[in-house]
A and B are shown apart, each in its own frame.
Chain A
């Protein structure tokens, strides 16, 4: 992966996230504190009421009852309104990091492949589980603030009635606080193990169903199921400890409330006998203990959520080009309320119309080297491409042809060498050599699950679509499809044949009308006649000014202005 992530405390990251929508957070904070503290005014009213009843003081009993009713009902009315608002803010907390991570992955410099975890299933968990964990920190702050403020208020109220009893009663709560913190620390370790085991399971699912074709043909379904079961058992062991501890913590507030009430009763009841306390006092203390009881649980959870978020923030920051966790929560327009509207992009233009830096006159590659851990890299490649030429790269398997193309485009990290565009050094090829300057058709192209037209255009203006389809020799195939260009292309394109996928990817590059068109072996899924037609059409059209291709086809090599032959990573001819 990239350089180590700068260590930023999750609290700091959370605070930055709060600052993106401060009003919403302030409103939620106020609402939740009020909600948590509600039992206190209710408890005070109850005490006053019971004391009046005990002394047979008939005045204002009705009024007090009504006040009590209003307070009790008010609590729930508040909850209803704040929960809807909270859900909206929750979506915001999850979406901002997602958008920032995706933006960075698709447009920041540097080869993106190295930043992603090895399976796309694992990558999705960054966008799902890790954003969730960060959001939980903000959420638990709300709860914590509510619990803390109301606990302080509860102690104050109790102390105003009887200080001595308050001290006795607070003791078990303090003890519970310590115990909960201990449990919380252990919980973090268990949570970490559970996360790893879960990632193994989801990664496996992603891999298996990504490779379902080969697995079905080999009849490996049962073996896969067995391995899946094994991973599941392993995960269950880790998850059980985590979940039991979490549940216990959650139930602790009620238990602590009961414990505190019990201790209060133990002290108050004898005092009741000799008039040192009233029945109202018992009622008040019971109400206050219920509020105080929730504090230890949140104190413990706070630590757990923070540690959890620490791991998550690090994982999310790894996906960014600059591994700074604060970049994950950088401000951005999300358009959640009304949606982002339509997608607009300018048409790509034509190679003949471009000027200045955008127009390719000459591409120079000097001393380009890529080191691959398992071999298959390239060493010290020199090459020069002039405008309007066709350059073909050829050589045996593993010679580094694909690597060369990808290195020129900045898709793999380069260990040495430089690439120059019209004599100017390209510092960041991965962001410079993109449409309209360069377009790339890889050896194993990926199509996305959307209508064919969208899969080709990917947001571009549709003007050049039909021409690109024609050039890619896809027009006959489209005519045979039931919904033509609107036919949805499935995940991994199984509904399309291998040749159709490659030609669609070719159309995708053609429609962008790049200065430099880079193609890695288009011939692998085309028959001789179709391929000849494609090259004829392409070379005759003004779709791309300059071509750099990998091929073994003698016909193409014959038409090349320049042939580069590679063997074992070096240029031979």
Chain B
């Protein structure tokens, strides 16, 4: 999908409403009818009163009164129909919008995600969309309906007496202007309030996720203090937004009340001159009061609109974010083990200095490479570039001869597997965790085989619902067992390049040896790059790469480097061997 240019907030909503055009039209028609019915009400009432005062027969009076009753109540009934339809519409549109935002957010790269916590995304995908949906389910249609009502009332009033009609229109106009003026000022205030709340929840979500860290470091009161800070900011922002937003509503309603009393005064004056009957006077007064509610409703919708606009603005901002790793042309990667070529690769994280500088590396397909180097030498970065989680600043990364920037992302993900030390589990079934919600299409037999290969089948058979058991904190997976599960995931994917980024670092040497044996079956015939601190992990690799400060210090066959006492690798081996003690 091409990157979107930043849209106006209303434009975003309009785009999602476009497919619902036909339904909106029908809804609009029903609403217009529902809203015009009450306009007939005061007219009928006025006629009934005047007829009674003139002494007309009871039958006629009752007919008029019943007419009044039916028309007003009937209008209300039609409004229920409108509500029902618009709520359904709003959820269709809302879910579509949520999905759109979620898809987009999923595609953004890890750099963006590191700056935006999961809590913040809950606010964006759910909280903000909620505001937009609330608005669309009541406002878009109601605004139209109430506008119709206002026009109807103004027109009929004009017909009854042009001066009274004019007064009503004037009052409405003043009230409307006040509202519009203050709307502009209120949106940023509501925006600011939501922003403060969003930060509050984001911070809170992090603290709750790291509760143990807080307690164990005696930092509990610090977290509470932060919550109090955020809350005080919310207090100020909420009151400010209320002052601007609701203050304007009150002013508009005042304009309105004054207009209503003036209409009454005008009517009384006209009645004195004999130009107006009492019934008509009451009808006009009721009209002048009837316009208040649509204005009130419009104001309510304005408030919802303010919130929705703030939400839509942030949603549009999210959609305007461009993943910095763009989709490739779709050049297919070859089957089988992949050759790895890094041509003069330079890379720096945004705003930082170079992590890798002019790195050259060439691996034949099926080679096992071990990567060593001090912390910060660029080992993990190398891994991320091979998996195309980031794009190089200069140079090229080629797998199987294909530049990773040209390959299709789905192809790349399938052919390159990464196991890191952070195993992320979802609260879904074991099966869904292994296949990533069905991304990898395998049957249960393959799942059991993979679990057996990593030694987890005993544990898995002990689960209450086997593969369907939902994994959560109570499953009792130790960090090492979680690592084994991550390995099982990889075994299922059948990649051409496997990247092990400190994969076994949390395992003790005995378990690591057992896992390596099982992994042997799976790693055979693939290109493997192992990044590790523990040198024993690299005992079975073909080649060794030593990185230092973003450049290649040494690269050669493991045997050759180990045998050469002047090589860095040999010296590292010696250091670790001196500290080795075989455990009984």
Does B88 contact A205, Cβ atoms closer than 8 Å? no
Q: Assess whether B66 is interfacial by the CB under 8 Å rule.
A: yes
Q: Assess whether A75 is interfacial by the CB under 8 Å rule.
A: yes
Residues in chain A near residue B118, CB distance under 8 A: 120-121, 205-210, 491
Q: Assess whether B425 is interfacial by the CB under 8 Å rule.
A: yes
CA distance A269 to B48 in the complex (A): 7
Q: Assess whether B406 is interfacial by the CB under 8 Å rule.
A: no
Residues in chain A near residue B581, CB distance under 8 A: 554, 557-558
Q: Assess whether B566 is interfacial by the CB under 8 Å rule.
A: no
Does A240 contact B106, Cβ atoms closer than 8 Å? no
Q: Assess whether A373 is interfacial by the CB under 8 Å rule.
A: yes
With A127-B204, A279-B279, A459-B222 already in contact, the answer to whether A80 and B238 are too (CB < 8 A) is: no
With A123-B208, A255-B76, A265-B45 already in contact, the answer to whether A215 and B106 are too (CB < 8 A) is: yes
Q: Assess whether B27 is interfacial by the CB under 8 Å rule.
A: no
CA distance A558 to B209 in the complex (A): 36
Would you list the 8 A-B pairs with minimal beta carbon distance, nearest first?
A219-B413, A106-B220, A374-B476, A262-B69, A211-B424, A446-B210, A459-B222, A397-B480
**In the complex, what's the smallest C-beta–C-beta distance from A378 to chain B, in angstroms?**
12
With A240-B88, A440-B217 already in contact, the answer to whether A258 and B271 are too (CB < 8 A) is: no
CA distance A244 to B49 in the complex (A): 37
- Given pairs A374-B463, A490-B115, 16 additional interface contacts (CB within 8 A): A49-B264, A102-B204, A118-B427, A127-B208, A216-B106, A219-B410, A228-B98, A247-B138, A254-B76, A266-B65, A338-B232, A374-B477, A439-B216, A446-B206, A459-B219, A525-B421
Q: What residue in chain A is nearest B113 (Cβ atoms)?
A: A212
With A217-B418, A512-B218 already in contact, the answer to whether A77 and B426 are too (CB < 8 A) is: no
Q: Assess whether A486 is interfacial by the CB under 8 Å rule.
A: no
Does B208 contact A491, Cβ atoms closer than 8 Å? no
Per-position 1/0 for A530-548, Cβ under 8 A of B: 1110000000000000000
Q: Assess whether A14 is interfacial by the CB under 8 Å rule.
A: no
Residues in chain A near residue B265, CB distance under 8 A: 65
Q: Assess whether A383 is interfacial by the CB under 8 Å rule.
A: no
Q: Assess whether B203 is interfacial by the CB under 8 Å rule.
A: yes
Does A525 contact B232, Cβ atoms closer than 8 Å? no
Q: Assess whether A164 is interfacial by the CB under 8 Å rule.
A: no
**In the complex, what's the smallest C-beta–C-beta distance from A467 to chain B, in angstroms?**
17
Contact of B99 among A123, A124, A232, A272 (CB under 8 A): A232
Main secondary structure of the interface of A (DSSP, over half): helix
A-B contact pairs, 26 of them (CB 8 A): A68-B264, A75-B253, A79-B249, A106-B223, A124-B122, A124-B204, A202-B126, A212-B424, A219-B410, A220-B439, A223-B436, A233-B95, A240-B91, A259-B73, A262-B68, A269-B62, A282-B45, A372-B476, A396-B510, A403-B478, A459-B222, A495-B349, A497-B376, A521-B506, A524-B502, A528-B576
**In the complex, what's the smallest C-beta–C-beta distance from B228 to chain A, in angstroms?**
4
Residues in chain B near residue A91, CB distance under 8 A: 231, 234-235, 238-239
Contact of B476 among A54, A83, A375 (CB under 8 A): A375
Does B212 contact A491, Cβ atoms closer than 8 Å? no
Q: What residue in chain B is nearest A410 (Cβ atoms)?
A: B215
Does A343 contact B222, Cβ atoms closer than 8 Å? yes
Does A529 contact B222, Cβ atoms closer than 8 Å? no
Q: Assess whether B4 is interfacial by the CB under 8 Å rule.
A: no
Does A402 contact B479, Cβ atoms closer than 8 Å? yes
With A205-B126, A270-B58, A491-B117 already in contact, the answer to whether A99 and B228 are too (CB < 8 A) is: yes
CA distance A244 to B278 in the complex (A): 41
Q: Assess whether A73 is interfacial by the CB under 8 Å rule.
A: yes
* A23-31, A144-152, A475-483: which lies at the interface: A475-483
Does B208 contact A84, Cβ atoms closer than 8 Å? no
Contact of B214 among A95, A106, A372 (CB under 8 A): A106
Q: What residue in chain B is nearest A113 (Cβ atoms)?
A: B212
Per-position 1/0 for A472-504, Cβ under 8 A of B: 010011001110000000111111011110000
Q: Assess whether B268 is interfacial by the CB under 8 Å rule.
A: yes
CA distance A255 to B206 in the complex (A): 47
Per-position 1/0 for A34-70, Cβ under 8 A of B: 0000000000001001100110000001000100110
Contact of A65 among B56, B264, B413 (CB under 8 A): B264
Q: Assess whether B372 is interfacial by the CB under 8 Å rule.
A: yes
CA distance A411 to B87 in the complex (A): 47
**In the complex, what's the smallest C-beta–C-beta distance from A337 to chain B, in angstroms?**
7
Does B580 contact A491, Cβ atoms closer than 8 Å? no
Per-position 1/0 for A104-125, Cβ under 8 A of B: 0111000011001011110110
CA distance A435 to B76 in the complex (A): 65
Q: Assess whether A444 is interfacial by the CB under 8 Å rule.
A: yes
Contact of B235 among A222, A336, A459 (CB under 8 A): A336
CA distance A232 to B414 in the complex (A): 28
With A91-B234, A272-B52, A498-B502 already in contact, the answer to whether A208 and B213 are too (CB < 8 A) is: no
**In the complex, what's the smallest C-beta–C-beta distance from A88 to chain B, in angstroms?**
5
CA distance A496 to B246 in the complex (A): 46
CA distance A118 to B209 in the complex (A): 10
Per-position 1/0 for A194-211, Cβ under 8 A of B: 000010011101111111
Q: Assess whether A236 is interfacial by the CB under 8 Å rule.
A: yes
CA distance A436 to B218 in the complex (A): 8
Q: Assess whether B19 is interfacial by the CB under 8 Å rule.
A: no
Q: Assess whether B33 is interfacial by the CB under 8 Å rule.
A: no
**In the complex, what's the smallest C-beta–C-beta distance from B179 to chain A, in angstroms?**
13
Q: Assess whether A225 is interfacial by the CB under 8 Å rule.
A: yes
CA distance A456 to B7 in the complex (A): 40
Does B257 contact A491, Cβ atoms closer than 8 Å? no
Per-position 1/0 for A396-427, Cβ under 8 A of B: 11100011000001010000000000000000
Does B203 contact A449, Cβ atoms closer than 8 Å? yes
Q: Assess whether A175 is interfacial by the CB under 8 Å rule.
A: no
Q: What residue in chain B is nearest A342 (Cβ atoms)?
A: B225
Contact of B286 among A83, A286, A339 (CB under 8 A): A286
Does A207 contact B228, Cβ atoms closer than 8 Å? no
Does B73 contact A106, Cβ atoms closer than 8 Å? no
Does B489 contact A218, Cβ atoms closer than 8 Å? yes
Contact of B217 among A282, A458, A473, A481 (CB under 8 A): A458
CA distance A36 to B257 in the complex (A): 16
Does B119 contact A499, Cβ atoms closer than 8 Å? no
Q: Assess whether A354 is interfacial by the CB under 8 Å rule.
A: no
Does A248 contact B72, Cβ atoms closer than 8 Å? no
CA distance A553 to B87 in the complex (A): 62
Does A69 contact B76, Cβ atoms closer than 8 Å? no
CA distance A80 to B248 in the complex (A): 8
Per-position 1/0 for B45-73, Cβ under 8 A of A: 10011001101101001101110110011
